[in-house]
Structure 1
Amino acid sequence: MKIFGFSIGDDRLPGELAGAGDAARDRGDWPDAARHYRAALSRDASRADIWVQMGHALKESGDLTAAAAAYESALLRDPDVADTHLQLGHLFKISGRRDAAATAYARAVGLDPTLRDAIEELRSMLRKGAKPDASVSAGLVESLRYTRRHRPAPSIAEPADDDRATAIFDVSDLLGYFHNARLPTGIQRVQIEVISALLREPPVEVQIAVCAFSIDRSDWVSLPADLFLDATRLALMEGGQRDPDWQALLKDIALTVDLSPALIFPQGAWLINLGTSWWLQNYFLKVREAQRHHGIHYLPFVHDMIPVMAPEHCTRPLTEDFISWVQGAFAHTRDFLTNSEASRRDLITVADRLGYGVSEDQVQIVRLDADFRRPGDTPPIAPAMDRYGLDAGNFVLMVSTIESRKNHLAAFRAWRDLITRHGAEAVPTLVCVGNRGWLNDGVFARLESDPTLQRQVRMLSGVSDSDLAGLYQAAAFSLYPSQYEGWGLPVTESLSYGKVVLASDSASLPEAGGDFAVYFRQGDQAGLLDALERLIFDLPYRQSLEARIAAGFSPRPWRALAMDILSRITTGQTPPAAPELAIPVATPGRYYPLHRSHSIAVGPGLVTGEIFRSGSGWAAPEDWGCWTRDGDGLIEARVATGASRPMRLFIGLRGETQRATPWRLEITGRQLARGSLGADEIQWVSRTISPEMIRDGILRLRLIGSDQASASSDTRLDRNSVGVIGFMVCDAADTETRSAFVEALAMDDLDALTVGEPTL
């Protein structure tokens, strides 16, 4: 008998021959190991385990084709061994067959969802653009769903099969939050409660679905409803970030996002984002594509404008990303949701500063006056008191993220004054519940510098819902001295538990507390101290306030808030005739950088080049500019001078970081320029564009990185190709503008030419 062309004459039993092969393997003699495994298989070819070892030996010997055949022979005999699929995936990976490797890894994970190596390898392949077999991906996603299913749940949406509108809620930032924290804070809580209420009790008028935006794939995918409900259920339970059930669920979510096919929006669907998306640099590129191809309506919930209105309380990167998002939001929708009159005023103010006209009727207010108590759930107070060493009725509760805007320092100053006036024994403990945010060094430095204050202040984080409910019920009252809010959920939360809340009168807080909260003038430290003294030492006064809350405060169920959000859809209100679908104007003589926004203030002089990007051929903007993806990036712009005169184009290109790449520029299919870029080389290209190249006043400029465009998806090493720094167009006869551009480029001062905002 011959196996792989070798004659076998050894009369030992298969097990003995395999053992000799193992011994050769252990001493690193792979050819000898392969020889013995061949002999063993000549005696008994049904042994899948020996076929696997044969594959190892052949792979290490460098015969990758024969090794693949050996692994596949093992799988023919025993197809349900996850490790064999894993080994086959490794072989395909080193052979450069990324799609085949991803398919093998996906099969391994489907057979054993705990096989960490397979999970990590699969995600790595997917991030590099590999595309596993669609049926294998679908089967894996479905198996993950069923292994975690705890209840019947509506299936996540396929395109609508009736005349109802479709509302698809984007939960990208909620999933991102879950990878760093478990217990939700304000904005995360709103998303969890609103979307869960709609999934558990779907409305008749609107089909509900959930999606997430994948950074690696730069696209949305559907998130199964049952998986979302499982995540939100576990997030609200006790347990740390490292809880095995929580970690397993996060892995299921990650694989689902990585493996699910790109979401195809039903025509005219509403994409509703109740959270944030400013950290997703390619988000609006994909919104534009979905609007152009599927006519979707983008509807963001603007919780506040703090990074613009109070940037001193935000980090610079947050402010930059938020301002970039603000420009994108106004350019891609004319409908907004917000939570208060104060937030609506701020939104309109920012729109006016940027030169966008937004009227009050375009901004729907959805008040967050929700009931934070769980129906029928009255958790006992004693466990929370014992856990945190507190005495019921002898502490004041302050619930907020620990950051400068929340004004912990004012609370600390007031507590120090109370101790000085009345003595520590007479002053209740201040219990601060919340995770660390940004710009909070002063808060902890103040505590560390004052031992007396340390004894009177407790800082708690990671408090479960049940413990927080116990703390509210046992507190004397709550405190919320925040300097700026979009709504102020802890105010409503305190009132839900029947507790008086002392809040500042800033921004939206009087709307959140209504007639049931006690207020002090923001910045009035003496007024804060006076109000605290009365609430602490005048028990009849406090009891009268609690009675007023019990008699008159009526928080709404979360589903009522959810239906408020959907009313924008169910009442037939639709955005104007899709102005967001128009191609933006490139003003002659104005330079448009394609880098991430670095602006820390808004005004009519802001410029964004991001909006001119079109199609799927773009990576996310970076600090210098933007890479094309797969060597094919499209820029579309209306030229304000019309199409009757020649135009001059200036465009900055950057070579790939590790190799030289040929490139060419095309306009409406005609070649304009070509060349080659060295690794990381920067070139500025200037060409004249004849009038016939500009059709209907639209400049369509395509940048093609030749090597990348011709590579197959299964062998491409890097999805990024030639990058674009920025561009400018002007009248070809305008020598003054052309000279100004050359001078600005020489002086490294192109910002001087970024004046104004592209209009739609």
Structure 2
Amino acid sequence: MQIYLDISRLCRRLLQKERPTGVDRVSLAYVRHYQDNALAVLSENGVHVILSKANSLRAFDWLLTQSAANTGRLRWLIGQAILASGFSPTPAPGILLHTAHSGVESPRYFRSLRRKGIRVAFMVHDLIPLTHAEYARPDTPARHARRIDTVLNHAAGIIANSGATLTSVVDYARSTGAPMPPTVTARLAPAITYRGEISHDPVGAPFFLMLGTIEPRKNHWLMLHIWRRLVELRGADAPMLVIVGRRGWECENVIDMLERCSELRGFVIEKPDCDDEYLYQLLQHARALLFPSFVEGYGMPLAEALALSVPVLASDLAVFREIAGDIPDYLDPLDGNGWLDRIQNYAAAPCTARDEQLARIKRFNEPTWTQHFEAVDNFLPTLG
């Protein structure tokens, strides 16, 4: 069976010299797994180009390298592929793996593939813009609805990153009357691949870590208010908060606190751009990862922290319990006093609650890409 990989989003982000997001890291894992036997596909506004075997291998290598030096080569390769597209032979029947939401809103692309005998398996990461529109940009819910409608009407199969995501897809299909294609749930492995020696503490004082784009559903605003109260209560003895993630959308209140709240200066460190090695150092020395989100489709930082034996204080979400069971300490994302008390507790050394979670972490069943692709590889041949 010929495998095709849509690499459009990966190419676009490399050309824009942007660091891979969580979704991009998943797509890169698919490139890494299938690169020897796959052909690359580029799509834009419903039009697509299939790269030759040689050019596919070049593109896969440059994407996995993620070097800025390859941007010029990639731009040239894309131009050559477009020029040669009119002379390309008829592609072999097979299956396209589309692992990012970008571009899925254009059914023209997938109708064209179907005419060529190429079926599509989509990965669905979440339905948050539909289930929690208040956390999305104003135009995103309608666009995401078009994406999920396309998936339900054109998929040979759906790969869900969690049971929680699959439940959301099934509920949406039922509410719209759309057909439900065959599905498989395949959990995602931690994206941080750097596992070096434990290095020096990059902060030099007790600190907690938040990881993810600054956006309303991540609940940074509550954490910043908690940190202001910690400074009021403990003064110079207050722990630090390190926020790793770029500023996103509709988060002006968070930005106001970061930039204008004098009480937080010296106690909150913002890291908008952080490589894996430095992130690994932060995780190794953090008192805990804080994950107070209101909603998540998966929650990669949770798996990453527990895989590195880092305690987690997390919102009590079904998807988090699906990934981690009873290992983290869970709190309601609206329980400000509960978070304040738990953070103060975890900041102390020794801390019985933290030690108890460290003991529970030893039984964490870390998701692996081997397990993920075993599920996917067994699923694809069933999509007749």
User: TM-score normalised to the size of structure 2?
Assistant: 0.90
Q: Summarize the alignment of residues 630-641 of structure 1 with structure 2, pairs less than 5 Å apart.
A: none
CA contact (8 A) 2:9 2:102 kept: yes
Match of 1:453 among 245, 264, 282: 264
CA contact (8 A) 2:47 2:108 kept: no
* Deviation per residue, 1:418-460 (Å, 9 max, x gap): 2223x13222110000122222212101223311113211111
Residue equivalent to 1:342:
164
Residue equivalent to 1:307:
129
Q: Summarize the alignment of residues 127-206 of structure 1 with structure 2, pairs less than 5 Å apart.
A: 165-199=1-35
Give the Cα–Cα distance (whole angstroms) in 2 for the partners of residues 557 and 185 of structure 1: 18
> Tell me, what secondary structure is at the counterpart of 1:298?
strand
Residue equivalent to 2:72:
248
Residue equivalent to 2:207:
395
> Tell me, what secondary structure is at the counterpart of 1:321?
helix
> Tell me, what secondary structure is at the counterpart of 1:494?
helix
- Deviation, 1:305, is 0.1
Match of 2:113 among 290, 293, 296: 290
Quick one: structure 1 residues 448 and 371, their matched pair in 2 at CA, closer, same or farther if it must change by over 3 Å? closer
Residue equivalent to 2:101:
276
User: TM-score normalised to the size of structure 1?
Assistant: 0.47
Q: Summarize the alignment of residues 108-119 of structure 1 with structure 2, pairs less than 5 Å apart.
A: none
Match of 2:359 among 547, 550, 556: 547
Residue equivalent to 2:251:
440
Greater CA deviation, 173-182 or 340-349?
173-182
2:309 pairs with 1:498: yes
CA contact (8 A) 1:485 1:507 kept: no
Give the Cα–Cα distance (whole angstroms) in 2 for the partners of residues 355 and 365 of structure 1: 22
Match of 1:411 among 213, 219, 223: 223
Residue equivalent to 2:50:
221
2:91 pairs with 1:265: yes
- Sequence identity of aligned pairs in percent? 24
Give the Cα–Cα distance (whole angstroms) in 2 for the partners of residues 497 and 534 of structure 1: 21
CA contact (8 A) 1:212 1:257 kept: no
Give the Cα–Cα distance (whole angstroms) in 2 for the partners of residues 256 and 435 of structure 1: 34
Quick one: structure 1 residues 510 and 253, their matched pair in 2 at CA, closer, same or farther if it must change by over 3 Å? farther
* Deviation per residue, 1:49-79 (Å, 9 max, x gap): xxxxxxxxxxxxxxxxxxxxxxxxxxxxxxx
2:160 pairs with 1:364: no
- Deviation, 1:563, is 2.9
- Deviation, 1:510, is 2.0
CA contact (8 A) 2:324 2:364 kept: no
Residue equivalent to 2:139:
317
Quick one: structure 1 residues 399 and 257, their matched pair in 2 at CA, closer, same or farther if it must change by over 3 Å? farther
2:211 pairs with 1:381: no
Give the Cα–Cα distance (whole angstroms) in 2 for the partners of residues 226 and 209 of structure 1: 11
Quick one: structure 1 residues 553 and 409, their matched pair in 2 at CA, closer, same or farther if it must change by over 3 Å? same
2:328 pairs with 1:517: yes
CA contact (8 A) 1:480 1:503 kept: yes
* Deviation per residue, 1:374-421 (Å, 9 max, x gap): 4xx415533x82xxxx21x61111110111111111111221222223
Amino acid at match of 2:40: V
- Deviation, 1:174, is 1.9
- Deviation, 1:344, is 1.0
* Deviation per residue, 1:10-62 (Å, 9 max, x gap): xxxxxxxxxxxxxxxxxxxxxxxxxxxxxxxxxxxxxxxxxxxxxxxxxxxxx
Amino acid at match of 1:398: M
2:59 pairs with 1:231: no
Extract unaligned runs of 5+ from structure 2.
none
Give the Cα–Cα distance (whole angstroms) in 1 for the partners of residues 30 and 110 of structure 2: 23
Match of 1:470 among 277, 281, 288: 281
- Deviation, 1:347, is 0.7
CA contact (8 A) 1:506 1:522 kept: no
* Deviation per residue, 1:492-541 (Å, 9 max, x gap): 11112210111111352222332322211232222222222222225243
> Tell me, what secondary structure is at the counterpart of 2:5?
strand
Give the Cα–Cα distance (whole angstroms) in 2 for the partners of residues 233 and 474 of structure 1: 28
2:156 pairs with 1:326: no
- Deviation, 1:276, is 1.5
Amino acid at match of 2:193: R
Give the Cα–Cα distance (whole angstroms) in 2 for the partners of residues 561 and 502 of structure 1: 26
Quick one: structure 1 residues 305 and 411, their matched pair in 2 at CA, closer, same or farther if it must change by over 3 Å? same
Give the Cα–Cα distance (whole angstroms) in 2 for the partners of residues 525 and 395 of structure 1: 18
Amino acid at match of 2:12: G
CA contact (8 A) 2:198 2:284 kept: no
Question: Larger Rg: 1 or 2?
Answer: 1
Give the Cα–Cα distance (whole angstroms) in 2 for the partners of residues 173 and 371 of structure 1: 18
CA contact (8 A) 1:500 1:546 kept: yes
Quick one: structure 1 residues 246 and 397, their matched pair in 2 at CA, closer, same or farther if it must change by over 3 Å? farther
- Deviation, 1:250, is 4.2
> Tell me, what secondary structure is at the counterpart of 1:307?
helix
Q: Summarize the alignment of residues 552-701 of structure 1 with structure 2, pairs less than 5 Å apart.
A: 552-569=363-380, 572-574=381-383
Quick one: structure 1 residues 290 and 227, their matched pair in 2 at CA, closer, same or farther if it must change by over 3 Å? closer
> Tell me, what secondary structure is at the counterpart of 1:437?
coil
Give the Cα–Cα distance (whole angstroms) in 1 for the partners of residues 92 and 354 of structure 2: 54
Extract unaligned runs of 5+ from structure 1.
1-164, 236-242, 576-760
Residue equivalent to 1:141:
none
Residue equivalent to 1:487:
298
- Deviation, 1:220, is 2.6
Give the Cα–Cα distance (whole angstroms) in 1 for the partners of residues 77 and 318 of structure 2: 37
CA contact (8 A) 1:367 1:561 kept: yes
Residue equivalent to 1:79:
none
Quick one: structure 1 residues 353 and 560, their matched pair in 2 at CA, closer, same or farther if it must change by over 3 Å? same
Residue equivalent to 1:117:
none
> Tell me, what secondary structure is at the counterpart of 2:230?
helix
